[in-house]
Structure 1
């Protein structure tokens, strides 16, 4: 085991080594090839690590018996190591995982006029780009914190990220965390503080960029991730943990600066290079491996079907590559919570946004906006539980009660036939007011199962009556509709209630006597786990 060189010692001690080391000298410009060695650290030094996957973002190489790899590098590019099971990548002081080397000899072109600093010149291609891993105990059963769209637009909104999702996540044991994009809301100067806050959760954290993590002065996609690369490394990468392979693919393609209307010009597309990387990577991984595929923009969404900015244009090509594999595809972007089953083996989960409705809504008693999402889900995050090659997810609200699963509301119907929320003078009283007995014939119970989907089943029981099935109904949540209507000044201009994919409805019995009645809702979630809640419905005499 050769000792660490002086340069390696300067880069970091054995306990906190840098992710890579660069050998003196540089490769021939004509060679167009990146080479190096992957090492494993132990108490005495380092040893070459064979059989480790390394990629340039398209081709995938496996280290030989001496831990060496070779990959094409004809010009600007990057090399990253794909962490194998049982080993750890180094993290910086804020637990940002360091997995890649950016090769950009001249750095980010100065004449682009980017608002935020990009990549500093890296100089000629080194003669060796070495990666250093540390052996660790890695159970096949583990949990992962899943964030998406924290999206603070200001330092004040970054306070909200800290005081809601981050504080709650600190109490949940997990092996590592992932953010699937929109780490920030356009102001990329906040990355340092954001990483410091999330880093205090105390676990390695992997991040994927979103459409608000772009360098928006870039003329096209080529230089649209310059700040991201400087702060986080390559925007698309992969790593293994236990029996799972996590593949992080940047599917936001920047088409150029905002047009005259001020709209961001981007589209959801994985792209040929990322598709080739995925194809080559899966060729090196056993077929029974659980694939967790992360993107920012959904492969498919119920909230904006057919939108080039909200769905992935080359989804069909991706589905063909992963065909026959067990895949959980996670994403964010739409600030909704959705479950889709795109094939028999591919479960697509649109995650709840940490920022909910972009930090909109009236302030709570903590001074933080209520931030309920457009589909009625309170802002929050998810926990992925992997057990070998099996998995489940669960939703965690970032504010309020930590075990909230659903909301029960009662809606009435005026005699003209137009559905409306019962209005009252005090905020949100309409959703809790007693219902006149003569309005029961038009009364509807509306249940929002915050993380519900096509496999969720619900029944409703009124008092001691027999339970009745509830009907999954695509429609807006009456609670959040009323909330946004009552507090228009407290929301971002574009925020409005939209049809939700996780609403269940049932008509109330028309013959309920005046008085208080228990309404019990029970069922099972997307994974067959029992869920239940209850509410009191008051009926008053009509007239």
Structure 2
């Protein structure tokens, strides 16, 4: 399928963006010279390894079910012993935003939250400044839990494994971090890695990834890959994770139109493999005085009733025999976005990241490559 243009890089007064594409490395900042300083040593990155704590229902006597009409609860806590398990005297973190991808709540004084539960939801926290979520062995940020009791429909690349009944609790560990508390942040935002085979993974390894591996000045904010992580072959995600092992900061991802489960019959499951292996389809996080909103702007398969009501998207008219994609934000994501931004102080810098841009003049003749 045609490739969308890359989303633009947002640069604010308190945020320097290191833009990495192909084998090049460029530095941009609003204050001349701050991003062009000598790269920090690799050992500036001290990864906090861990994972989200899922307390299973069968461990607590909770009845099985898909979660419909019920609540999911848990807490955000400081993982002082770094074992990813809440308990003892580990304190909760108040005021942290937690979401099911639709509703947004904030934690109480003990770090507790409660959210409506439904099938095929992703529960995640917005990392607060001054704290760091855990990362796995590939440095991929761990801040979400997928709930899909029966798993994905049959998909070529696997989708989401069955999660079983609604957990008794989902707890999110964090550790205190001076790096994410700093007002000035250097962040990597990279578009269209888009590797089609293992040889192209090697090109990325020897190019921009090798450059970024030498510097640690982005360790607080970390890299954000804004879509087309691979080129249609989702079996390459493990190879991409071998690349992110070399990076010096928590790695986050957004999906693009080349990260799709193309055999998904509905948009509800079109990014299941991406969600299982990399990240939620959309989310937010804080670094210093910056609030990053990471949006999913790809809908596949698009349909005539939703996407071609204006007559400008005829590619969406036959999703069964000729499935296609469109640039769009769904109603659930918009509801989440409104509630997420309502929790953001008005003096924060907000950086909006997406794959298909909100508006592009580089490809203005293609309705599906900018948002409806």
Shorter chain as denominator, the TM-score bin is: 0.7 to 0.9
Indicate the residue corresponding to 1:186 in structure 2: 232
1:22 aligns with 2:51: no
Distance in 2 (CA, whole Å) between partners of 1:35 and 1:45 is 19
CA contact (8 A) 1:144 1:174 kept: yes
Distance in 2 (CA, whole Å) between partners of 1:201 and 1:74 is 35
Distance in 2 (CA, whole Å) between partners of 1:95 and 1:15 is 9
Indicate the residue corresponding to 1:230 in structure 2: 276
**Residue-by-residue CA offset, 1:59-96 (whole Å, 9 max, x unaligned):** 11011112111111133312101111100001000101
Indicate the residue corresponding to 2:343 in structure 1: 284
**What is the aligned-residue RMSD (CA, Å)?**
2.2
Indicate the residue corresponding to 1:35 in structure 2: 73
Indicate the residue corresponding to 1:207 in structure 2: 253
**Alpha-carbon deviation of 1:189?**
0.4
Equivalent runs, 1:44-83 vs 2, <5 Å: 46-83=90-127
Q: 1:202 to 1:132 in 2, by over 3 A?
A: same
Please point out which of 119, 123, 126 is paired with 2:160. Answer: 119
Please point out which of 281, 286, 291 is paired with 1:240. Answer: 286
**Structure 1 residues not aligned, in runs of 5+:** 1-13, 314-543
Q: 1:27 to 1:149 in 2, by over 3 A?
A: farther
Distance in 2 (CA, whole Å) between partners of 1:276 and 1:68 is 22
Which structure shows the higher strand fraction? 1
Name the larger-Rg structure. 1
Distance in 1 (CA, whole Å) between partners of 2:73 and 2:163 is 16
CA contact (8 A) 2:122 2:144 kept: yes
1:135 aligns with 2:135: no
* Secondary structure of the corresponding residue to residue 46 of structure 1: coil
Equivalent runs, 1:103-182 vs 2, <5 Å: 103-110=147-154, 114-137=155-178, 138-172=181-215, 173-175=217-219, 176-182=222-228
Equivalent runs, 1:73-472 vs 2, <5 Å: 73-110=117-154, 114-137=155-178, 138-172=181-215, 173-175=217-219, 176-255=222-301, 265-313=324-372
**TM-score for both structures, normalised by structure 1:** 0.52
Indicate the residue corresponding to 2:23 in structure 1: none
* Secondary structure of the corresponding residue to residue 78 of structure 1: strand
**Structure 2 residues not aligned, in runs of 5+:** 1-46, 82-87, 304-314
Q: 1:45 to 1:197 in 2, by over 3 A?
A: farther
**Alpha-carbon deviation of 1:207?**
0.5
Q: 1:54 to 1:217 in 2, by over 3 A?
A: same
**Alpha-carbon deviation of 1:236?**
0.6
CA contact (8 A) 1:267 1:309 kept: yes
More RCO (CA 8 Å, sep 6+): 2
Distance in 2 (CA, whole Å) between partners of 1:272 and 1:61 is 18
**Residue-by-residue CA offset, 1:225-246 (whole Å, 9 max, x unaligned):** 1111110131111111111111
**Alpha-carbon deviation of 1:171?**
2.8
**Alpha-carbon deviation of 1:37?**
1.0
Total equivalences in the alignment: 296
CA contact (8 A) 2:266 2:301 kept: yes
* Secondary structure of the corresponding residue to residue 70 of structure 1: strand
**TM-score for both structures, normalised by structure 2:** 0.75
CA contact (8 A) 1:89 1:99 kept: yes
